[in-house]
Amino acid sequence: MKLKELLKKLRAFDCDALNESEVSHYFATKLGYGYEEIVEDVEFDPKRKRIVLLCKDPEQCLWDAKTMVKYEEKKGGID
């Protein structure tokens, strides 16, 4: 994902109700264990030309991907 696309999706969640919400990274291992990492900071890696999220240590976590609310752009819509 490119930064421009990430910023566009993040703006969709920019509202008073969510302003104090923490940002997390969820991932699952090949064995099916789910983990959550709370994002603490953001840096830029000039060697790899990537934006890097710095996170707390991962903690085991269960989540239901089907209940997640995500940004979906309308086809033919105005940006």
Q: Domain boundaries in the chain?
A: 22-69
Tracing tokens 């910023």 back to the chain, one arrives at: 7
Report whether 63 contacts 74 (CB < 8 A).
no
For residues 63 and 12, give the distance between their C-alpha atoms in angstroms, rounded to a whole number.
Answer: 21
Alpha carbon distance 74, 51 (integer Å): 27
Cβ(23)–Cβ(39) below 8 Å:
yes
61-78 average pLDDT score:
79
- Check pLDDT > 70 for residue 41: yes
pLDDT > 70 in the chain, percent: 95
